[in-house]
Structure 1
Amino acid sequence: MTDEFKGLAALVTGGASGIGLATATVLRDKGARVVVLDRAESASDGFELVRADVSDDTQVRSAVAAAVASLGGLDVLVNNAGIGAQGGVDANDDDEWRKVLDVNVLGLVRVTRAALPSLRRSEHAAIVNTCSIAATAGLPNRALYSASKGAVLSLTLAMAADLIAEGIRVNAVNPGTADTPWVGRLLDSAADPAAERVALEARQPHGRLVSAQEVAHAVAYLASPSAGSTTGTTLAVDGGMAGLRLRK
């Protein structure tokens, strides 16, 4: 535990489980006041929860306002809420495409838009978006999900360019396949869950799934005042998957 975030307030979307919960925990351990935004009925580990579906702008604005009021301001926004999709380019119908893009891309836009007035009043404003290895590497059966995360990657860069003059830093983390509840459900739905897990572990050069805590610590670095000269950057937490080509 440190006081790296002492005096700072953070909002983490999708913060009731997985990478979001791990991120909220790390930020709190480092001294931040933290509220989580999620569709869940409640948050674990004593976190205050504001409920919202990020696909609903009215809910988002109300939840962000409630979080800011409770926190007494806002310094850090972690846009982590998102959903997955499987299949090639012809596997998902138009409604599924709209749903995933609405949550993964427009959801990020809605939350950021609602949070910006408060972030503009902070001396240490930082936004960290949860992107994915799917944005930078061609993964099989992930066309829709990859498209949504590719948009998040480009949006991160555009936001960083737009907001740097206002002192707001914007970065993203690119996790590899992480050991989260969503991946757990994906494995459970496979014909052979054990074999599928082995395959997912093997495609990451370090030979295992990424932990939610590892991603959370990367988010904390990017959000920290210690990273004051880091903006418009994506930090891969993927066991080397994006850049390494190992001989077998």
Structure 2
Amino acid sequence: MDLDLAGRSYVVTGASSGVGLATAALLLGEGAHVVACARDGDRLAAALRPLPRAQGARVVAGGCDVLDADGVAAFVASAAEELGGLDGVVNNAGRSLLAPAAETTREQWHEEFDLKIFGVLNTVRAAEPYLRRAAAPSVVNVNAILARQPESRLAATSAARAALLNLTRTLSADLAPIRVNSVCLGLVDTGQWRRRHEAAGVPDSYEEWTGALAADRGVALGRLGRAEEVAYPIVALLSPRASYITGASIDVGGGVARYV
């Protein structure tokens, strides 16, 4: 199916690895232009360089911290001028803080909420004037199933994710007709999990360790997801063919959800 993305331009934050990089790759394959940003500009450039792209697809990339409102605004404005506008945003910059509430400092609580909330607001506010002029504008916030199914060992992250889910619904009403949706992921095989495996110092292979992790977390499909499996619903929601979907949340977690 042609998703009608060719020639359109999309901002992707946190694009140097994982879900962000997979989303950029899928957009480029569909002929869309990608405005990619990440804190480490050199790492971002190296990650984007080998990606195949459909004829005419362009990349505008740069180092940018989504918590720097002025920096984000300048980067987005420059990219929009170069590409002749913007059609959508994927708010993907994020991380998880593995700590229960009692072991989370005040500063860490602030850091989690700053990234999940203000990182999104800074980018959306910078892009909004250009999205208002687009024919089929769309925003997708990459969130987590933790937003509805908190884990005590991820206390601050769970709370911040819940706040982002709430904010997404609010933005879907406030920014209409710009569509705003969420993709909530479960356990996805990214560098974060590989680092945790290495830090655990266990004799199990990564495959054995993640299989046991999936079983422990109740993942019905029995494995971690892949970044490209999250990228597809993100790109589908960006597509003008999803023009009557807003304020929605799609779980991509292999059946991990325990809520109704």
- Which residue number in structure 2 is paired with residue 8 of structure 1? 8
- Which residue number in structure 1 is paired with residue 53 of structure 2? none
Q: Is the 8 A contact 1:34 1:71 kept in 2?
A: no
- Which residue number in structure 1 is paired with residue 252 of structure 2? 237
* 1:31 is the counterpart of 2:31: yes
Please state whether the residue corresponding to 1:16 is helix, strand or coil: coil
- Which residue number in structure 2 is paired with residue 197 of structure 1? 210
The 1:48–1:7 alpha-carbon spacing in structure 2 relative to 1, beyond 3 Å, is: closer
Deviations 1:57-88 (CA, angstroms, capped at 9, x unpaired): 12111111122122221001000011220111
Q: Is the 8 A contact 1:10 1:77 kept in 2?
A: yes
* 1:142 is the counterpart of 2:142: no
Range moving further from structure 2, 210-219 or 38-47: 38-47
Shift of residue 198, structure 1, vs aligned partner: 3.1
CA distance in 1, matches of 2:211, 2:9: 39
- Which residue number in structure 1 is paired with residue 198 of structure 2? 188
The 1:196–1:95 alpha-carbon spacing in structure 2 relative to 1, beyond 3 Å, is: farther
TM-score (normalizing by structure 2) = 0.88
Match of 2:84 among 45, 57, 72: 72
Shift of residue 3, structure 1, vs aligned partner: 6.0
Range moving further from structure 2, 69-78 or 125-134: 69-78
- Which residue number in structure 1 is paired with residue 52 of structure 2? none
* Aligned Cα root-mean-square deviation (Å): 1.8
TM-score (normalizing by structure 1) = 0.92
Shift of residue 196, structure 1, vs aligned partner: 4.7
Structure 1 stretches lacking a partner, 5+ long: none
CA distance in 2, matches of 1:169, 1:244: 25
Shift of residue 41, structure 1, vs aligned partner: 2.3
- What are the within-5 Å matches in structure 2 for residues 94-113 of structure 1? 94-113=106-125
Shift of residue 191, structure 1, vs aligned partner: 4.4
CA distance in 1, matches of 2:203, 2:29: 34
* Moved segments of 4+, more than 4 Å: none
Range moving further from structure 2, 27-36 or 63-72: 63-72
- What are the within-5 Å matches in structure 2 for residues 70-219 of structure 1? 70-164=82-176, 167-192=177-202, 194=204, 196-202=209-215, 203=217, 204-219=219-234
Match of 2:71 among 51, 55, 59: 59
Structure 2 stretches lacking a partner, 5+ long: 50-58
CA distance in 2, matches of 1:108, 1:55: 9
Match of 2:48 among 37, 41, 45: 45
Shift of residue 243, structure 1, vs aligned partner: 4.8
Range moving further from structure 2, 213-222 or 55-64: 55-64
Residue identity opposite 1:159 in structure 2: L
- Which residue number in structure 2 is paired with residue 224 of structure 1? 239
Shift of residue 101, structure 1, vs aligned partner: 1.3
Shift of residue 2, structure 1, vs aligned partner: 4.5
Q: Is the 8 A contact 2:3 2:240 kept in 1?
A: no
The 1:193–1:53 alpha-carbon spacing in structure 2 relative to 1, beyond 3 Å, is: farther
Deviations 1:88-145 (CA, angstroms, capped at 9, x unpaired): 1111101111112111211101110111000000011000000101111132401111
